[in-house]
Amino acid sequence: MTAEAPHGAEAPSELVQLLTPEGERVEHPDYDIDLTPEEIRGLYRDLVLVRRVDLEAVALQRQGELGIWASLLGQEAAQIGSGRALTEADMAFPTYREHGVAWCRGVDPVNLLGMFRGVNHGGWDPAEHNFHLYTIVIGSQTLHAVGYAMGVQRDSAEAATIVYFGDGATSQGDVNESFIWASVFNAPVVFFCQNNQWAISEPLEKQSRIPLYRRASGFGFPGVRVDGNDVFACLAVTRKALADARSGQGPMLIEAFTYRMGAHTTADDPTRYRVAGELEAWKLKDPIERVRAYMFKNQIADQDFFDAIDAEADELGGDVRKRCLALPDPEPLAIFDHVYAEPHGLMDSERAEFATYLEGFEG
């Protein structure tokens, strides 16, 4: 189905949608998906639990337990749908907001919180989860992803790479350079742009005069816009793009048209640059409520199921909070560990200088 997009500042002309905001299942000629009731219940569980972790993290930051937090509120469907499309062999390169994808890749949420608490540099092994460490520098992970994809290509591996970025990152040189390299070398990479309408305080119209997915054609590969609040559509579109990449058909740009319901980070105040009516309009397109409505209408789940998921979410939130607060502070000199693989003279002298500084507080 080609439908009117969820309404934000400007509604796009078309997008792939399989589940309407009212919870009605619709068809699309190019993308479809056949999900079992068990799979649908699993997607709903993912959406709810990931949102609960996110809300707990926001609360922890407001209470001074995290230095900062980048909320995914409103973007759960884009992340869970694309994350569940990945095979075990595929590699994902995130920004700093892909908590839902991390969940799909089996990363402990407390490891995410540890980084924002300042007690680790990521806390998980990218090779173990096929999920790279968070990237704070805007857009640089796209080059990393393309390079990895070119390696996969040369290894003749049955795998693809996916890389996440936001609408604001499309103005970065690194992202455009990665498009060129991916196109020229036909790299097996999927560019997944979560267009949440705001690059911090800059609206989408300050980033592009055309829909973002159409930029791909200028680099020589296809692009598609998907309803980023529709977990079914995000799963279907990403699954096909990854399959095409693995089969040698090259890169693809997916623009997940969604909305950042919270602040850019907890250091941001979105009320200074966007109106309340815009937020209210997007609440009607909530990614969780549309799945819940669909499940009720089609008798895929009853109230006992929803109550059990809510209870599990509360238990998870409590567990995440408890374990986050119990994270030990690292030794101050540990900041110098693992910066270089081999001994480094400048680093050694800086370590010694910092150790001397710390000794001044002793006694």
Residue tagged active-site, from 25, 62, 273, 340: 273
The answer to whether 60 and 301 have CB atoms below 8 angstroms apart is no
d(CA 19, CA 42): 16
d(CA 183, CA 295): 40
d(CA 242, CA 174): 22
Nearest by Cα to 92 from 111, 77, 79, 75: 79
SS3 98: coil
Which residue(s) pair with 189 in the sheet?
Answer: 161
Based on the residue annotation, tell me whether 45 is a catalytic residue of this protein: no
Based on the residue annotation, tell me whether 264 is a catalytic residue of this protein: yes
Nearest by Cα to 263 from 6, 9, 61, 5: 61
Both structure tokens of 29: 């000629």
Based on the residue annotation, tell me whether 132 is a catalytic residue of this protein: no
Nearest by Cα to 175 from 216, 117, 223, 224: 216
Residue tagged active-site, from 264, 290, 292, 321: 264
* Strand bridging mode 198-199 / 202-203: antiparallel
Residue tagged active-site, from 260, 290, 292, 321: 260
Catalytic residues: 260, 264, 273
